[in-house]
């Protein structure tokens, strides 16, 4: 038994050392997933203030209008473009998408006439492609003017609203997206790694020399699977460290449960890469086939956006894609705190694919 395990241990050491000696492999294993994490984390990071890119066209000479514009510049809700001074400039920038809306203060805005206080009506102008932002900004402006009106006129409020926190930290969009990024990382490591390494080893004659030894296919497969698990854990651990420290990831589940999901998922994804890389004679065969397999999984398995947004008939298909149960399991553990015992359907599908994929990998593998 010890003699059979010795080649496995030896090849695990060889694979891990090969990784850390290859700068390109280090980049795609650690840096590349982190780049995606930083990009999506910056986009979807929770807790940020809502703001609108606006221009002010002040046609009034009143002191109230001038003071209103100055105070708006101090409001974090508005990102005011001071370069816009005319309506033509404002329309041009709105058409380009550089402005969400334009706030127009007419000539009589802020003037004191019959009433003992200033009056006026501001206009929020937006184009059709930015209707939601324009309507939201209109509601914000109404709220601001309601507060200002209360300083001049006593208002009677028969009905009021009281807001209260649930005292529970909710999920941010980043928490949801992070699970998909972990799935994307496992996909990249498992599929694209072997499909680039094995054809290169075949062309160099390395695998042919292995074949002349007492090394068996199952020993070679086991060693590569275990080494890939080690690399996958290191890559995921790096992503978790960044997500927790920089983006305040809300991890609700157990790290042990997540580790089990990661190990099974990494094994499954590596089996796909092993089947493709073990079959292909060279990189020209492996690369297109890897893209053909990986791209549908990347976009249909809920990696970057939830599957419930897809048509129902497409959702029924995506459930059986190998990456889908991995992403779902990670998401359930991270965002809902579920354990591996709550993920029976997902694990059943993953183990089913494990059997199918590794049977195919054993049958199609060739040493040269």
Q: Same domain for 143 and 269? A: no
Q: Same domain for 262 and 350? A: yes
Is 70 exceeded by the pLDDT of residue 149? yes
The two tokens of residue 127 are 């184009």
Q: Please state the three-class secondary structure of 170-239 as a single string.
A: CCCHHHHHHHHHHHHHHHHHHHHHHHHHHHHHHHHCHHHHHHCCCCCHHHHHHHHHHHHHHHHHHHHHHH
Residue listed under structure tokens 């209109």: 138
Evaluate the CA torsion angle 262, 268, 271, 272 in order and state its sign.
Answer: negative
* Domain-located, residue 163: no
Q: What confidence score (pLDDT) does residue 24 get?
A: 65
The two tokens of residue 327 are 């992403």
pLDDT: is 33 or 234 the higher one? 234
| Residue 256 pLDDT level (bands cut at 50, 70, 90) | very high
- Distance in angstroms (rounded) separating the CA atoms of residues 125 and 92: 13
Question: How does the average pLDDT of the chain come out, rounded?
Answer: 80
Averaged over 92-98, what is the pLDDT?
82
Q: What confidence score (pLDDT) does residue 166 get?
A: 42
Q: What confidence score (pLDDT) does residue 253 get?
A: 85
**Of 162, 140, 130, whose CA–CA distance to 50 is shortest?**
140
* Domain-located, residue 339: yes
Q: Same domain for 90 and 140? A: yes
- List, as one string, the DSSP characters of 255-266: HHHHHHHHHHHH
- Distance in angstroms (rounded) separating the CA atoms of residues 366 and 278: 6
User: Which structural domain, as residue segments, surrounds residue 339?
Assistant: 2-45+172-364
The two tokens of residue 225 are 């699977």
Q: What are phi and psi of 240, to 5 degrees?
A: -65, -40
Q: Same domain for 60 and 38? A: no
- pTM score, two decimals? 0.67
pLDDT one-digit tens code per residue, 56-82:
889 988 888 888 888 888 888 888 888
Q: Same domain for 234 and 342? A: yes
Q: Same domain for 25 and 103? A: no
Q: What confidence score (pLDDT) does residue 290 get?
A: 83
Q: What confidence score (pLDDT) does residue 157 get?
A: 60
Q: Same domain for 348 and 228? A: yes
* Domain-located, residue 264: yes
pLDDT one-digit tens code per residue, 214-224:
777 777 778 87
Is 50 exceeded by the pLDDT of residue 167? no
Q: Same domain for 23 and 60? A: no
Is 60 exceeded by the pLDDT of residue 351? yes
Q: Same domain for 246 and 315? A: yes
Q: Same domain for 115 and 37? A: no
| Residue 39 pLDDT level (bands cut at 50, 70, 90) | confident
Q: Same domain for 93 and 205? A: no
Kindly report the number of other CB atoms within 10 A of residue 209's CB atom: 13
Is 70 exceeded by the pLDDT of residue 162? no
Q: What confidence score (pLDDT) does residue 22 get?
A: 67
Percent of the chain surpassing pLDDT 90: 6
Least confident among 93-102, 104-113, 161-170, 316-325: 161-170
* Domain-located, residue 185: yes
Q: Same domain for 28 and 146? A: no
Q: Are strands 123-125 and 101-105 parallel, antiparallel or unpaired?
A: antiparallel
| Residue 158 pLDDT level (bands cut at 50, 70, 90) | low
């Amino acid at each position: 038994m010890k003699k059979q395990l010795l080649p496995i241990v030896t090849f695990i050491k060889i694979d891990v050392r090969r990784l850390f000696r290859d700068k390109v492999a280090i980049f795609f294993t650690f840096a590349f997933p982190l780049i995606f994490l930083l990009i999506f984390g910056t986009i979807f990071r929770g807790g940020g203030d809502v703001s609108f890119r606006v221009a002010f066209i002040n046609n009034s000479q009143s002191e109230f209008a001038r003071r209103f514009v100055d105070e708006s510049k101090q409001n974090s809700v508005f990102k005011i473009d001071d370069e816009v001074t005319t309506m033509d400039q404002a329309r041009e920038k709105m058409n380009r998408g550089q402005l969400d809306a334009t706030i127009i203060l007419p000539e009589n805005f802020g003037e004191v006439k019959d009433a003992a206080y200033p009056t006026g009506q501001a206009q929020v102008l937006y184009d059709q492609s930015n209707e939601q932002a324009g309507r939201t900004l209109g509601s914000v402006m109404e709220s601001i003017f309601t507060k200002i009106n209360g300083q001049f006129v006593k208002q009677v409020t028969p009905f009021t609203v009281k807001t209260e926190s649930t005292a529970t930290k909710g999920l941010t969009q980043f928490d949801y997206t992070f699970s998909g990024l972990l799935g994307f990382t496992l996909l990249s490591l498992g599929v694209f790694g072997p499909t680039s390494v094995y054809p290169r080893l075949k062309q160099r004659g390395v695998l042919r020399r292995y074949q002349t030894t007492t090394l068996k296919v199952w020993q070679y497969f086991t060693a590569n699977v275990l080494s890939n698990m080690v690399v996958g854990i290191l890559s995921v651990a790096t992503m978790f460290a960044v997500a927790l420290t920089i983006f305040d990831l809300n991890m609700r589940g157990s790290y042990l449960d997540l580790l089990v999901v990661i190990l099974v998922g990494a094994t499954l994804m590596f089996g796909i890469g092993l089947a493709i890389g073990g079959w292909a004679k060279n990189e020209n065969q492996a690369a297109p086939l890897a893209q053909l397999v990986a791209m549908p999984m990347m976009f249909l398995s809920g990696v970057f956006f939830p599957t419930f947004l897809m048509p129902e008939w497409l959702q029924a298909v995506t459930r059986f894609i190998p990456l889908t149960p991995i992403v779902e399991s990670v998401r359930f553990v991270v965002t809902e705190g579920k354990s591996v015992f709550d993920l029976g359907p997902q694990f059943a599908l993953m183990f089913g694919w494990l059997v199918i994929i590794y049977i195919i990998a054993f049958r199609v593998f060739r040493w040269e």
